[in-house]
């Protein structure tokens, strides 16, 4: 019995030490576990963020590069093969080129897909750019139109909207060979709707809406290819997720200018199976439509933004 009582202090000492160990070691373990968990979550977030960034970058980088040299040759050959376009562009007319161009019709078409762009995020960077001041002095525009009616009556040198055809051709040629870039609006890369926007801005001082779908909402509807006139906007369904996904400018003789994802800024023909079958319709911009786009505002530097290099 005496021996038992002698061992009690040692027994309580062990208990005390055990409790003390639990009190010190357990919280440390909890803190370490929490820190490890936080570190793991942070690491996952970083990886997820990096993955999203790479995914977004990939949506642009994986778009197949366009052949601008071939696009430039095709555009010039189409112009030289058409008597009226050759005259407007001041180049030699060569009808023999039609046979050469006919061989390439079945390979012409868009290569941009939904997988390439993964939605319309490419336009986010340029949202609001339609506010750029490209408005023309409407009274000046109307005076020019009346002058044209007096001097050029019966001639077919202007579009239904009063824009000089030669000016449109000159501006198109100025952009031919420019690389295609989804969401692009400059000389380093441009997409289809930005191209039509720039051509109309440079040719008439009018600012079209930014996207093909928005441009499809303006103008007088032209349903059939046979009814199209020089200067009409032509629209195509080239992607599944977006009905109106491509736009160009009609030049006559089944030809139209556009920023092609295959060839960059070039000319193509409705004799191509791809463009003939994907054609949605056209829109004709009359004087009234051009006036509505400008809202009657005046601005002396109306073409400054359209001359972006």
Give the active site residue among 44, 66, 140, 192.
192
The neighbouring-strand residues paired with 267 are 257
Give the active site residue among 140, 246, 289, 299.
246
Closest by alpha carbon to 258, among 227, 282, 289, 287? 282
Half-sphere CA count of 264, side-chain side, radius 13 A: 23
The end-to-end CA distance of the chain, in Å, is: 103
Measure the CA–CA gap between 292 and 110, rounded to whole angstroms: 32
Closest by alpha carbon to 231, among 305, 303, 157? 157
The neighbouring-strand residues paired with 256 are 250, 268
Measure the CA–CA gap between 130 and 82, rounded to whole angstroms: 34
Q: Is 140 a catalytic residue?
A: no
Residue that the structure tokens 């004799």 belong to: 271
Half-sphere CA count of 274, side-chain side, radius 13 A: 15
The neighbouring-strand residues paired with 259 are 265
The 10 Å CB-count burial string (b at 16+, else e) for 129-143 is: eeebebbbbbeebee
Q: Is 258 a catalytic residue?
A: yes
Closest by alpha carbon to 104, among 148, 131, 71? 71
Give the active site residue among 258, 289, 299, 309.
258
Q: Is 192 a catalytic residue?
A: yes
CA quadruple 198, 199, 204, 208: dihedral sign: negative
Measure the CA–CA gap between 277 and 121, rounded to whole angstroms: 27
130 touches 120 (CB < 8 A): no
Q: What are the structure tokens assigned to 217, written together?
A: 């909402």
Catalytic annotation, residues:
192, 246, 258
């Amino acid at each position: 019995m005496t021996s038992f009582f002698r061992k009690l202090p040692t027994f309580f000492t062990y208990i005390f030490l055990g409790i003390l160990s639990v009190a010190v070691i357990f919280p440390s373990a909890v803190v370490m576990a929490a820190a490890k968990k936080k570190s793991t979550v942070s690491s996952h977030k970083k990886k997820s963020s990096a993955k999203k960034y790479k995914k977004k970058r990939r949506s642009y980088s994986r778009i197949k590069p366009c052949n601008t040299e071939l696009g430039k040759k095709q555009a010039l050959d189409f112009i030289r093969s058409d008597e009226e376009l050759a005259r407007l562009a001041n180049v030699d007319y060569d009808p023999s080129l039609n046979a050469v161009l006919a061989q390439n019709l079945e390979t012409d078409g868009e290569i941009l897909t939904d997988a390439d762009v993964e939605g319309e995020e490419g336009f986010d960077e340029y949202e609001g750019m339609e506010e750029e001041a490209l408005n023309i002095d409407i009274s000046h525009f109307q005076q020019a139109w009346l002058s044209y009616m007096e001097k050029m009556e019966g001639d077919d040198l202007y579009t239904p909207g009063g824009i000089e055809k030669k000016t449109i051709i000159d501006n198109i040629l100025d952009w031919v060979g420019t690389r295609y870039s989804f969401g692009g609006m400059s000389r380093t890369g441009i997409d289809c709707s930005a191209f039509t926007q720039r051509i109309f801005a440079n040719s008439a001082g009018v600012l079209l809406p930014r996207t093909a779908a928005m441009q499809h909402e303006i103008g007088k509807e032209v349903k059939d290819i046979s009814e199209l006139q020089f200067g009409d906007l032509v629209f195509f369904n080239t992607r599944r997720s977006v009905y109106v996904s491509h736009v160009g400018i009609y030049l006559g003789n089944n030809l139209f200018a556009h920023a092609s994802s295959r060839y960059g800024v070039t000319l193509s023909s409705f004799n191509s199976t791809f463009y003939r079958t994907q054609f949605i319709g056209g829109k004709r911009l009359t004087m009234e439509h051009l006036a509505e786009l400008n809202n009657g505002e005046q601005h002396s530097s109306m073409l400054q933004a359209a001359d972006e290099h």
